[in-house]
Amino acid sequence: MPAVPRYALLPAPAANRVYAEAAAAMVRAELTVLSRAALAGRIGTVETETLAGVEYLAFEADELTDQDLGFLGLTSAFYALFEVDGDRLRPVAVPSPDRYPSDLLTILKYQGKTNEQFTRLVLNVTAASTARPEGVLDGSLHVLDPVCGRGTTLSQAVMYGLPVTGVDIDTKDFELYSSFFTTWLKDHRFKHAASTTPVRREKSVIAKKYEVDFAADKADYVAGQKQHLTFYAADTLLTSQLVKPGTVDVVIGDLPYGVQHGSRGPRGLVRNPLELLDAALPGWATRLRAGGAMGLAWNTRVAPRDRVGELLESAGLTVLDGPGYDDLRHRVDRVITRDVIVARRD
Domain of 332, CATH number, reads 3.40.50.150
CA 29 distance to own-chain centroid:
15
One domain, residues 208 and 122: yes
Same domain, yes or no: 56 and 128:
no
Question: Whole-structure pTM over 0.85, yes or no?
Answer: yes
User: Of 64, 92, 120, which residue sits at a domain end?
Assistant: 92
pLDDT at 259: 42
Give CA–CA dist 253/42, Å, rounded. 29
How far apart are the C-alpha atoms of 199 and 215, rounded to whole Å? 25
Is 1 inside any structural domain? no
Low-confidence ranges of the chain (pLDDT < 70): 1-2, 15-18, 112, 257-271
Domain boundary residue, one of 32, 66, 92: 92
Residues 259 and 317 in one domain: yes
Same structural domain, 332 and 217: yes
Same domain, 75 and 167: no
Q: Verify that 126 and 255 share a domain, yes or no.
A: yes
97, part of any domain: no
CA 234 vs CA 199, 250, 283, 314, 324: distances in Å? 10, 20, 14, 25, 34
Question: For residue 22, what are the domain limits?
Answer: 6-92
126 and 56 in one domain?
A: no
Same domain for 38 and 87, yes or no, is yes
Q: Of 92, 113, 128, which closes a domain?
A: 92
**How confident is the model at residue 269, as a pLDDT?**
53
Give yes or no: residues 147 and 292 share one domain. Answer: yes
What's the domain count of the chain? Answer: 2
Answer whether 38's CB lies under 8 Å from 24's CB. no
For 116-126, the pLDDT digits (tens) are 899 999 999 99
Reported as a single tens digit per residue, the pLDDT across 232-245 is 999 999 999 999 99
